[in-house]
Amino acid sequence: MSEILCRDLVRIFATDGVEVQALQGLNLTVEQGELVAVVGASGSGKSTLLNILSGLDTPTGGSAVVAGTDLLTMGGRDRVRYQRHTVGFVWQQTSRNLLPYLTAAENVGLPLELAGAGTRGERAARVAELLELLDVVDVAERRPAQMSGGQQQRVAIAVAVANAPRVLLADEPTGELDEATSVEVLDALRSVNHATGVTTLVVTHDPAVSEHVARTVQIRDGRTSTEVLRRTEVDEHGAERHVAEEFAVLDRVGRLQLPPDFVEALDLRDRVRLALEPDHVQVRPDRKESS
Ligand SMILES: Nc1ncnc2c1ncn2[C@@H]1O[C@H](COP(=O)(O)OP(=O)(O)OP(=O)(O)O)[C@@H](O)[C@H]1O
């Protein structure tokens, strides 16, 4: 079952009579339990998408359904419930994720307390379980300022999944970290996804993230354009090999975006010639045949 389903999602911002189409008919499907990275350059619409999926913003058109909640029609009370129980967030700025005057354990315990989950003992057991899962038991009694950036983000992931949301949204969770620490945080997201089955969407400008996740969706000009799927193959000698394949995204009505380097290489513009071959479609420049 699809846990995140966006169809022809449009978000138009109008400022001083000027319209900006931040999302221009975006299509995205994430299955239950999947971990997907959405990668795009600055201005491609990543934050707009994440703000919509987290219930902070409402799309102008199209449809967006997350864990069975229709984000276009949900009312005020549904929105609060959605943000508290259905989705969890990890933001780029660690200061937005953790309260500076609470220890790691207190930060993780806070959402449980606010939700009135279980008895005090049950909550303590859940905090211990989460700190263990994120491998931050050793910093349980430290405040954020006494932890490394990677530890802060791992505690932030524990906070985000404390109330067992169905979907975990992470906005540039590695944006403020060096490469080695970024890998550590991605690994942490992967183990939480694996251990709890929480559907996870990571949004980032960093194309290197695709090396660490099974599926990466590229977003360009407010639309999903290509996908990279990675899998591990075992050869006849038992050696593991990572294979990455890139696909273009085809929407429901058959539209696709050609990669810019293809367009440039053949100087494609305005219109192209299409031909259906037995097992592929040919795209050629619209040049007059010289006789
Ligand atoms: N509140 C707003 N009002 C007007 N335009 C906006 C608003 N928010 C975003 N935009 C525009 O929409 C487009 C997409 O912006 P968005 O912030 O979603 O991109 P992004 O991929 O997250 O970029 P970055 O990585 O720089 O944050 C941009 O052209 C941006 O200027």
Cα 50 to ligand 1 centroid, rounded to whole Å:
11
Q: What does 257-283 look like in DSSP terms, one character per residue? A: PPPHHHHHHTT--S-EEEEE-SS-EEE
Q: What is the model's pLDDT at position 290?
A: 47
Global pTM value: 0.87
Cα 251 to ligand 1 centroid, rounded to whole Å:
23
- Give the residue, by CA position, lying nearest to ligand 1 atom 12: 22
Q: What is the model's pLDDT at position 289?
A: 54
Cα 35 to ligand 1 centroid, rounded to whole Å:
24
Q: What is the model's pLDDT at position 291?
A: 45
Interaxial angle between packed helices 120-133 and 104-114, expressed in degrees from 0 to 180 and rounded to the nearest 10: 130
Q: What is the ipTM of this complex?
A: 0.94
Q: What is the model's pLDDT at position 288?
A: 66
Rounded-to-5 percentages of helix, strand, coil across the chain: 35, 30, 35
Q: What is the model's pLDDT at position 238?
A: 83
For residue 172, which atom of ligand 1 is closest to its CA? 25
For residue 14, which atom of ligand 1 is closest to its CA? 4
* 33-59+74-257: CATH number: 3.40.50.300
For residue 23, which atom of ligand 1 is closest to its CA? 14
Compute the half-sphere exposure of residue 131: CA atoms within 13 Å on the CB side of its CA. Answer: 20
The pairing of strands 61-66 and 2-15 is antiparallel
Alpha carbon 268 to its chain centroid, in Å, reads 32
- Could you tell me if 215 and 222 are in contact, meaning their C-beta atoms sit under 8 angstroms apart? no
Q: What is the model's pLDDT at position 248?
A: 85
Domain spans of the chain? 33-59+74-257, 264-291
Q: Fill in the DSSP letter of residue 288.
A: P
Q: What is the model's pLDDT at position 261?
A: 87
- What are the pocket residues of ligand 1 if the criterion is a CB atom closer than 6 Å to any ligand atom? 13, 15, 20, 22, 40, 42-48, 205
Cα 290 to ligand 1 centroid, rounded to whole Å:
45
Mean pLDDT, 10 residues at a time, the chain of 291 residues: 91 88 91 93 90 92 94 88 90 84 94 85 92 93 91 93 94 77 86 94 86 88 83 82 82 83 90 92 79 45
